[in-house]
């Protein structure tokens, strides 16, 4: 259908129906009590089955290696820009294989490339923000930041500078609404992949990672 | 690689639509098939559990009422400006490299999706959960065009394998037990029988992972569209919504035209109340905000993004006395709390949208002919309005819907005559007084004393499960008169 | 001495025809508080049954009659029903908008008081109530009173003032009993299924009497209790306040 015809049908009805007037409202961040952001973030992430690990930037490599070891992961799909200096080379020096993150344009190559993600053990990403209220991490994707790193593997490790933890999703979006338009893909991740479709029994890891570890980097 | 997942999924029969020849044509008729069954007991358990989770989540979020008001305001204002917002949304989607398609009805929407998929050379379409594609029965159209389509939400996957229908807006297989799923997986996927949910989950994970990674096209619905930015928001717990919009080369998002809000701030308000109201989570696991297809330099994501905007009766609803129902954000809270839904399950409503919101939406979208009795499938207890995250006055809309359908098959003719006769008497006080006196006299002639235990014909609708109070020998007004004259 | 304004009683059709004792109890309770009670005798049914049936024209005719009768009186209008009050307050003005009775509907809506709200909000609560023989009472909050009028703790406060009443709770008390007016006869099997759960909860509560503010729901629950041979009785709040706890 033509756009004009479609919109004309909407316009013809838009004032005809019975619609209550919108109540007067405020915009911006909602009023929530002050909390210790880092503490709340870690607690809430734990409640939904994620794991928070607080550490100094200098200990980050050790922490990541420990986590990879814990999950027996030797290959990692990682973002290029991570908030720890020389992280990639340090990991490689420790024997961790870093996978190519860019998807080929060619259809056949693309399929083969994606096939490589079938048994992927771990993904390593940064995070644009942490949300204390919900224990979420916000990931903005773009060059050097593959979406699949936080989705395809069994384990997702996100590196979150503590200073980036804000009160809630509404606070994050109110502070910078344009953030959603600056990337083709912004995702808010709140715990490990889960479903309760079968008899309302909570089951972890139906499609996305079964484990999410957020390394909260003390950057104060 | 591409052909690999065509294993056993292709062997299933297509999902059956509601067949009016074999399905009872009335709500009550359909409900009676399920009333008291294990299937409905499972629905009630699940609905009550979701309701409890919601109550806890709402109680612990101090900004709930503020965000409800903001979500409501955002949705109402979007509906009041929908033509302008749709134009802006479409402009923004196209400015970010997406393509917008306009579909007047289900057939047109399905044809558009099928054509895009065929042009993309798709043999396999991976689909994430979407009510709007259930509404258009997209899967039939794709299958008829020889394109395999696999539902990837675990619940919808179970529905598809079992040739079943979803029974809840956000929990499609609320009516199914794990033993049903166990048998289904063993039969259709050729795996060893297990009824352990975790193991069933792993079977689906393995099976569907190959679907995600080899599908040429991903199809999703849209939870929220932001007009200001041209952003499409998807909310999922499993991650399938992320997969179908990240791995396949082409992403098609089908959106009911009313899904919009204008600003990011309004979208935030909706997101803050959506999961809390639906499952009791603070946020669903994955809130994905998509603005255009993959950009230059992006390592992954679809090369093409198509947004198919669907009317399919919505503009008519927008111009009606139940326009407010279009503000629904599909959280399912009104289903979970509804005493009728809890007893009859989602299938009784006969369409993809069940519960109080479906009882309003379906006759409004599709016309009252087949659905005139749906607005009567409610006790008007008002619990739905109390839990609605955008404050939709569902009892008010059910009443407005009844006024729309009462004379078009909604009200059973015998009851219609009875109510009319009653109204005629009530409009004349003298006749009313005489009628009460006559009822009192007649009641004495009925057998027994006290409550009436059994009545014939229409009366049995009451007395089959309840005794009926006997009209008083002397009405209140008679007693009042006697008292005053005696005084 | 200050003249107390008269109170108009809108007794409701169900009380008028089926349980006139409830109306008499309301009169007693009001008079004991020193109020003059008037009963506008031209009142019939407010129109809610037709409105809920979707028959707007018939509902408007009945509502027009009701508001005309009530508008000719003065003082607060007390109603022993949350449901009828909610209809006349929230729906009748809308239904009669543009009709000759539109203004009367608005005025009447402003004067209407559901009984328990009137007794606890408009009057001092410590006006003595009759004592009853020791009895276990559970409150059934009818949906329209609860959700359209916001009646929550008022009846409980009133019941707490009745000597001899021991209060118990029904699990899931705020869930609908399945009556729904016309719904109970148009979809009787579903109505009965909802009622069954309510009756189970009632019997598990240990209550001897179920008190409520709406005769409609009480007739539904009471009829269900009778059908299953239960000894639990139902009664209207006004009856307990008037010292009558035997129920029906």
Taking only the tens place, the pLDDT of each residue in B259-312 is 999 999 999 999 999 999 999 999 999 999 999 999 999 999 999 999 999 999
- Which ipTM value was assigned to this complex? 0.96
Residue C146 has pLDDT above 50, yes or no: yes
Residue C125 has pLDDT above 90, yes or no: no
**From the candidates B207, B298, B311, B394, which should be mutated to test the interface with A, based on the most A CB atoms within 10 A?**
B298
Q: What is the mean pLDDT of chain A?
A: 93
- How far, in Å, CA of B9 to CA of B21, rounded? 28
Above pLDDT 90, what percent of chain B?
84
C202's CB contacts (< 8 A; 6+ apart) are C138, C170, C210, C221, C225, C230, C232
Residues C170-191, mean pLDDT to the nearest whole number? 96
- What is the DSSP code (8-state) at residue C89? I
CB-CB neighbors (< 8 A) of A142 in chain B: 295, 297-298
Is A28 in contact with A177 (CB distance < 8 Å)? Answer: no
Residue B292, pLDDT score: 98
Question: At B22, is the pLDDT very low, low, confident or very high (cuts 50, 70, 90)?
Answer: low
Residue B115 has pLDDT above 80, yes or no: yes
Question: At B483, is the pLDDT very low, low, confident or very high (cuts 50, 70, 90)?
Answer: confident
| A19–B263 CB contact, under 8 Å | no
Q: What is the mean pLDDT of chain B?
A: 92
CB contacts < 8 A, B to C, total 210
Is C22 in contact with C61 (CB distance < 8 Å)? Answer: no
> Which of B382, B402, B453 minimises the CB distance to C143?
B382
> Which of A117, A143, A185 minimises the CB distance to B297?
A143
C115's CB contacts (< 8 A; 6+ apart) are C26, C78, C79, C80, C81, C213, C237, C238
Question: At A169, is the pLDDT very low, low, confident or very high (cuts 50, 70, 90)?
Answer: very high
Cβ of residue B448 closer than 8 Å to a chain C Cβ? no
Please name the chains neighbouring C, where neighbouring means 3+ C-beta pairs under 8 angstroms. B
- What are the beta bridge partners of residue B218? B126, B251
Chain A: closest CA distance from residue B51 (Å) = 12
Measured CA to CA in angstroms, residue C15 lies from B432, C65, C110 at distances of 14, 18, 23
Model pLDDT for residues B116-141, shown as the tens digit of each residue: 999 999 999 999 999 999 999 999 99
Scanning B372-401 for CB atoms below 8 A from C yields 375-383, 385-386, 399, 401
Residues C26-45, mean pLDDT to the nearest whole number? 94
In 10 A of CB A31, how many CB atoms?
9
- Per-residue buried b or exposed e for B420-440, using 16+ beta carbons within 10 Å of the residue's own CB: bebbebbbebeebbebbbebb
- B289: closest CA among B305, B276, B277? B305
Residue B381 has pLDDT above 50, yes or no: yes
Model pLDDT for residues C57-77, shown as the tens digit of each residue: 999 999 999 999 999 999 999
Alpha helices, DSSP H, located in C165-234: 183-186, 188-205, 215-227
3-state secondary structure of B236: strand
Residue C133, pLDDT score: 85
Model pLDDT for residues A110-144, shown as the tens digit of each residue: 778 888 777 789 999 999 999 999 999 999 999 99
| B299–A133 CB contact, under 8 Å | no
| A1–B249 CB contact, under 8 Å | no
3-state secondary structure of A186: strand
- B397: closest CA among B319, B324, B316? B324
Residue B369, pLDDT score: 83
Model pLDDT for residues C72-114, shown as the tens digit of each residue: 999 999 999 999 999 999 999 999 999 999 999 999 999 999 9
3-state secondary structure of B385: helix
Q: Which of A29-38, B22-31, B361-370, C111-120 has the lowest mean pLDDT?
A: B22-31
Measured CA to CA in angstroms, residue A126 lies from A56, A142, A144, C245 at distances of 15, 12, 11, 69
Measured CA to CA in angstroms, residue A8 lies from A5, B86, B259, B262, B348 at distances of 5, 11, 18, 19, 36
Residue B20 has pLDDT above 70, yes or no: no
pTM score: 0.94
Question: At A156, is the pLDDT very low, low, confident or very high (cuts 50, 70, 90)?
Answer: very high
Residue C153, pLDDT score: 94
Residue C1 has pLDDT above 70, yes or no: no
Is B272 in contact with B233 (CB distance < 8 Å)? Answer: no
- For chain C, the straight-line distance linking the first and the last C-alpha, in angstroms and rounded, comes to 40
Class of residue C161 by CB neighbours under 10 A (exposed 0-12, middle 13-18, buried 19+): middle
Residues A19-44, mean pLDDT to the nearest whole number? 93
Model pLDDT for residues B412-456, shown as the tens digit of each residue: 888 899 999 999 999 899 999 999 999 999 888 888 778 999 888
Residue A35 has pLDDT above 90, yes or no: yes
Residues C174-202, mean pLDDT to the nearest whole number? 96
Chain B: closest CA distance from residue A51 (Å) = 14
CA closest to C179 among chain B residues: B379
Chain A: closest CA distance from residue B415 (Å) = 29
Residue B3, pLDDT score: 38
Is C116 in contact with C154 (CB distance < 8 Å)? Answer: yes
Cβ of residue A148 closer than 8 Å to a chain B Cβ? yes
Residue B250 has pLDDT above 90, yes or no: yes
Strands (E), A70-164: 75-78, 97-99, 122-126, 129-131, 136-140, 155-161
- How far, in Å, CA of B314 to CA of B24, rounded? 26
CB-CB neighbors (< 8 A) of A181 in chain B: 96, 229-231, 291
Residue B11 has pLDDT above 50, yes or no: no
Model pLDDT for residues B315-357, shown as the tens digit of each residue: 999 999 999 999 999 999 999 999 999 999 999 999 999 999 9
Question: At B457, is the pLDDT very low, low, confident or very high (cuts 50, 70, 90)?
Answer: confident
């Amino acid at each position: 259908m033509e756009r004009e015809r479609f919109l004309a049908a909407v316009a013809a009805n838009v004032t005809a129906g019975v619609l209550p007037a919108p109540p007067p409202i405020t915009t911006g961040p909602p009023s929530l009590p002050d909390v210790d952001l880092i503490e709340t973030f870690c607690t809430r992430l734990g409640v939904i089955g994620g794991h928070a690990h607080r550490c100094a930037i200098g200990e980050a490599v050790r922490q990541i290696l420990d986590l990879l070891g814990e999950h027996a992961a030797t290959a990692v799909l990682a973002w290029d820009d991570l908030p720890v200096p020389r992280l990639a080379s340090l990991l490689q020096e420790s024997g961790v294989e870093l996978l190519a993150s860019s998807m080929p344009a060619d259809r056949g190559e693309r399929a083969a490339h994606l096939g490589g993600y079938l048994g992927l053990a771990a993904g390593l990403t940064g995070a644009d923000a942490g949300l204390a209220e919900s224990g979420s991490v916000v990931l903005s994707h773009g060059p050097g930041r593959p979406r699949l790193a936080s989705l395809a593997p069994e384990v997702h490790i996100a590196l979150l500078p503590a200073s980036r933890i804000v009160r809630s999703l509404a606070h994050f979006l109110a502070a910078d609404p344009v953030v959603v338009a600056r990337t083709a893909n912004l995702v808010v991740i709140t715990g490990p992949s889960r479903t309760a479709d079968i008899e309302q029994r909570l089951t972890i890891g139906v499609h996305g990672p079964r484990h999410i570890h957020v390394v909260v980097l003390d950057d104060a | 690689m591409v052909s690999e997942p065509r294993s056993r999924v292709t062997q299933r029969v297509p999902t059956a639509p509601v067949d009016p020849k074999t399905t009872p044509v009335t709500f009550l008729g359909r409900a009676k098939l399920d009333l008291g069954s294990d299937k409905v007991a499972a629905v009630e358990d699940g609905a009550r559990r979701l309701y409890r989770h919601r109550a806890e989540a709402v109680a612990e979020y101090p900004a709930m009422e503020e965000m409800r008001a903001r979500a409501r305001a955002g949705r109402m204002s979007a509906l009041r400006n929908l033509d302008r917002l749709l134009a802006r949304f479409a402009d923004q989607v196209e400015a970010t490299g997406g393509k917008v398609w306009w579909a007047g009805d289900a057939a047109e929407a399905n044809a558009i999706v099928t054509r895009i998929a065929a042009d993309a050379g798709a043999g396999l379409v991976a689909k994430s959960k979407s009510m709007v594609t259930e509404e258009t029965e997209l899967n039939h159209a794709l299958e008829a065009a020889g394109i395999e389509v696999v539902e990837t939400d675990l619940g919808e996957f179970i529905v598809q394998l079992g040739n079943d229908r979803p029974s809840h807006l956000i929990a499609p297989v609320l009516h199914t037990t794990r033993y049903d799923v166990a048998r289904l997986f063993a039969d259709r996927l050729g795996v060893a029988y297990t009824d352990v949910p975790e193991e069933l989950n792993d079977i689906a994970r393995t099976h569907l992972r190959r679907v995600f990674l080899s599908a040429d096209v991903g199809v999703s619905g849209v939870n929220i569209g932001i007009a200001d930015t041209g952003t499409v928001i998807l909310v999922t717990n499993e991650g399938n919504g992320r997969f179908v919009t990240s791995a396949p080369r082409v992403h098609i998002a089908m959106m009911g035209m009313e899904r919009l809000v204008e600003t990011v701030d309004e979208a935030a308000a909706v997101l803050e109340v959506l999961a809390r109201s639906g499952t009791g989570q603070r946020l669903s696991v994955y809130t994905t905000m998509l603005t255009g297809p993959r950009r230059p330099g992006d390592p992954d994501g679809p090369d093409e993004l198509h947004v198919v905007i669907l009317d399919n009766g919505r503009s008519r609803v927008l111009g009606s006395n139940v326009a407010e129902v279009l503000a629904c954000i599909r959280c399912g809270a009104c289903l979970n709390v509804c005493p009728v839904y809890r007893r009859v399950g989602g299938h009784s409503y006969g369409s993809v949208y069940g519960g109080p919101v479906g009882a309003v939406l379906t006759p409004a979208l599709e016309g009252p002919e087949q659905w005139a009795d749906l607005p009567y499938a409610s006790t008007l207890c008002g619990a739905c309005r109390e839990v609605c995250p955008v404050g939709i006055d569902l009892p008010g809309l059910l009443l407005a819907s009844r006024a729309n359908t009462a004379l078009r098959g909604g009200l059973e003719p015998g009851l219609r005559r009875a109510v009319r006769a009653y109204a005629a008497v009530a409009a004349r006080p003298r006749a009313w007084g005489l009628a009460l006196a006559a009822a009192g006299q007649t009641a004495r002639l009925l057998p027994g004393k006290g409550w009436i235990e059994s009545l014939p014909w229409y009366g049995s609708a009451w007395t089959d499960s309840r005794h009926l109070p006997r009209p008083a020998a002397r009405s209140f007004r008679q007693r009042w008169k006697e008292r005053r004259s005696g005084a | 001495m200050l003249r107390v304004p008269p109170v108009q009683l809108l007794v409701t059709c169900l009380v008028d025809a089926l349980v006139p004792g409830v109306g008499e109890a309301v009169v007693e309770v009001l008079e004991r508080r020193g109020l003059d009670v008037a009963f506008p005798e031209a009142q019939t049914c407010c129109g809610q049954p037709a409105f809920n049936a979707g028959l707007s024209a018939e509902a408007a005719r009945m509502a027009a009659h009701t508001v005309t009768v009530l508008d000719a009186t003065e003082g607060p209008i007390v109603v022993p029903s949350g449901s009828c009050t909610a209809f006349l307050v929230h729906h009748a003005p809308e239904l009669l908008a543009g009709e000759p009775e539109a203004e009367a509907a608005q005025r009447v809506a402003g004067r209407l008081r559901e009984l328990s709200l009137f007794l606890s909000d408009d009057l001092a609560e410590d006006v003595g109530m009759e004592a009853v023989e020791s009895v276990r009472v559970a409150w059934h909050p009818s949906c329209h009173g609860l959700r359209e009028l916001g009646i929550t703790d008022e009846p409980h406060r009133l019941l707490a003032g009745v000597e001899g009443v021991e209060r118990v709770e029904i699990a899931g008390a705020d869930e609908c009993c399945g009556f729904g007016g016309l719904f109970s006869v148009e979809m009787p099997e579903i109505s009965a299924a909802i009622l069954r759960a309510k009756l189970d909860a009632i019997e598990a509560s240990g209550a001897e009497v179920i008190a409520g503010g709406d005769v409609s729901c009480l007739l539904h629950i009471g009829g269900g209790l009778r059908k299953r041979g239960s000894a639990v009785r139902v009664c209207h709040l006004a009856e307990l306040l008037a010292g009558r706890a035997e129920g029906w």
